[in-house]
Amino acid sequence: MKDYPATPDGLRVDRDVEAGVLRLAFDRVDRRNALTDDIVLGLIELIEAAGSDEAVRVIHLAGEGDHFCSGFDLSLRGKPDTPPRTGATQRQMRWHVNRLIPTMLETQTPIVVAARGWIIGLGLNIVLAADFAVVDDDARLWAPFVGAGFTPDSGSSWLLPRLAGVARAKDMLLLGRKVSGLEAAEWGLVHQAVEGRALDTVAGDLVAELAAAPTVALGLTKLLINRGLDTDLPRHLADEAFAIELSSRSEDFTEASRAKRDKRAPDFRGR
């Protein structure tokens, strides 16, 4: 198991071994959970650590208070009227925020996000990159980059066209359209939109379902889906065959076979 990093200020961490869940929550309520450098780096390291922790079978990410995340806290970047030196932003992003979305997509541990209120910028991209995002009906998803005078970052111009299509991506990215939770579900940006009072229950039930699933098969299937979007069919079929080779050697595969023979529900252990 990879050692877990120290918890940064503004991020709550609860590793529930009994439930098989790593629970994370943004906790800068006074800033609508705007993210800091330390929170972003901590989130990357925590996801990586969970990926090699056999006790963690699912990651559950939420935000404290009334809002999931208002994006990166730009007030920490110095004077707004003083542009950074040429090349500085590109260098910083490569080793910082640009690592987050690929880490979410490449970890075999499923990630469930529960989000209400404002879901902005980097917070939006985190929701888009989750395996399952459950949002409040009245949530507001917003990509304000162009309206603020700069271009999209952290993967939004890659994620949005793939999930919602080019026309809707342009609506959000070029025109800055704010999308409700209900619209986001209709567009395929999120898994489900629910009434606010039901959000935690619905997300919690989904987390429990994933934590009880055959973890090896689940993680490999997640990778097949994500990577298959940019892979030709012959290569993808080879990847599927390799994944079957691995998953059919897992303890959970054996348990599923025994359960079928014994006419009972399987008890998957995540191995």
pLDDT confidence of residue 255: 87
Centre a 10 Å sphere on the Cβ of residue 179 and count the other Cβ atoms it contains.
23
Could you read off the pLDDT tens digit of each residue along the chain, which spans 271 residues? 557 889 999 999 999 999 999 999 999 999 999 999 999 999 999 999 999 999 999 999 999 999 999 999 888 765 556 665 655 555 565 557 889 999 999 999 999 999 999 999 999 999 999 999 999 999 999 999 999 998 999 999 999 999 999 999 999 999 999 999 999 999 999 999 999 999 999 999 999 999 999 999 999 999 999 999 999 999 999 999 999 999 999 999 998 999 899 898 988 988 8
Query: Which residues lie closer than 8 Å to 241 by C-beta, 6 or more apart?
Result: none
Q: Token pair for residue 79?
A: 């004077």
Q: Token pair for residue 66?
A: 């009334």
Residues 88, 168: Cα–Cα separation, whole Å: 31
Angle between helices 166-173 and 156-164 (to 10 degrees): 140
Collapsed DSSP state (helix, strand, coil) of residue 8? coil
The per-residue pLDDT for range 102-116, each reduced to its tens digit, is 999 999 999 999 999
Counting Cβ atoms within 10 Å, is residue 95 exposed (0-12), middle (13-18) or buried (19+)? exposed
pLDDT confidence of residue 77: 67
Q: Which domains does the chain have, with CATH numbers?
A: 11-211 (3.90.226.10), 215-262 (1.10.12)
Residues 199, 257: Cα–Cα separation, whole Å: 35
Residues 134, 225: Cα–Cα separation, whole Å: 19
Cβ pair 26, 69 in contact under 8 A: yes
Residues 39, 12: Cα–Cα separation, whole Å: 10
Residues 163, 156: Cα–Cα separation, whole Å: 10
Q: Give Rg (Cα) of the chain.
A: 19
pLDDT confidence of residue 95: 59
pLDDT confidence of residue 5: 87
Residues 212, 19: Cα–Cα separation, whole Å: 9
